[in-house]
Amino acid sequence: ETVLTQSPATLSLSPGERATLSCRASQSVSSCLAWYQQKPGQAPRLLIYDASNRATGIPARFSGGGSGTDFTLTISSLEPEDFVLYYCQQCNNWPYTFGQGTKLEIK
C-alpha cells in the first residue's frame, strides 16, 4: 500500500499569507495525485488533479506541483474560507490512499 504523509498536521497562518502544504508518497505515484478540501460537516471538494490541474470552478489562488513522491499544494493568498482541512490522494497504485490531512487554522 502506498502511504501518503502530509505535513504539517496543522498549519497556523493569517489571512492574506501564503500557505504551502506537503504530501509525500512512500513510492512513486507518477503525477496521479489529487488534493481535496473538506469543510466541517461537508463532503470533500476536489481542488487539484493530476498533481497540478485545477478542477472546475477552483480559484486561481490554489495551485499544485510535484511528481513522483513529493507534492505541494499552495494557496497564494489565504481567504477566511480557506481555513479548513486538506487531503491528498494518490491514484497510481491500488489500493488508492489518502493522506491523514492538514488542518489550516487561523493564527
Partner 1 sequence: EVHLVESGGGLVQPGGSLRLSCATSGFTFSSYAIHWVRQAPGKGLEYVSAINDNGGSTYYGDAVKGRFTLSRDNSKNTLYLQMGSLRPDDTAVYYCARDRSSWPQVADYWGQGTLVTVSS
Residues lying near partner 1 in the complex (CB under 8 A) are found at 1, 32, 34, 36, 38, 42-46, 49-50, 55-56, 87, 89, 91, 94-101
In this complex, which beta carbon is closest to partner 1, that of residue 17 or of residue 47?
47
| CB-nearer residue toward partner 1: 14 or 56 | 56
Supply the minimum distance, in Å, between the C-beta of residue 50 and partner 1.
8
Whole-angstrom Cα distance, residue 67 to residue 76? 20
Tell me how far CA of residue 107 lies from CA of 11, 16, 83, in angstroms. 9, 12, 10
Under 8 Å between Cβ of 7 and 86: no
Q: Which burial class, exposed, middle or buried, applies to 42 when counting CB atoms under 10 A from its CB (0-12, 13-18, 19+)?
A: exposed
Task: Supply the minimum distance, in Å, between the C-beta of residue 85 and partner 1.
Answer: 8
Tell the smallest beta-carbon distance from residue 97 to partner 1 (Å): 6
